[in-house]
Amino acid sequence: MIHGKTAQARRRRTRRTVALVAAVALAVSLWFAWDAANVEAEAQGALSVRNAVMDAAMQCAAVEGAYPSSLKYLEEHYGLIVNHDDYAVTYEAFASNVPPSVVVMPR
């Protein structure tokens, strides 16, 4: 009788341990998946900001005949809105007839 209760308790402990390990493994897997999704979202956001800046620069060149000399000009005259808190934008204009170099990095 005592032997039966001991074996039963051992099985219960084993089941609890397996359940705990499975729960921890699931939590770790979800955390890695969440982190990977956030990294991908940041990269897509940076690409969207870069495309918006380049589109505004192209529009400016089409309307005015020259590429703008600064990002601030696009923000003031072409309605470009850039979230400078979330993205670091480097806008380098070499000449008015050459498309600018735009680099966007998530902060």
Q: What is the pTM of this model?
A: 0.71
Q: pLDDT for 18-61, tens place per residue?
A: 999 999 999 999 999 898 888 888 889 999 999 999 999 999 99
Q: Which of 98, 101, 89, 100 is closest to 49 using CA atoms? A: 89
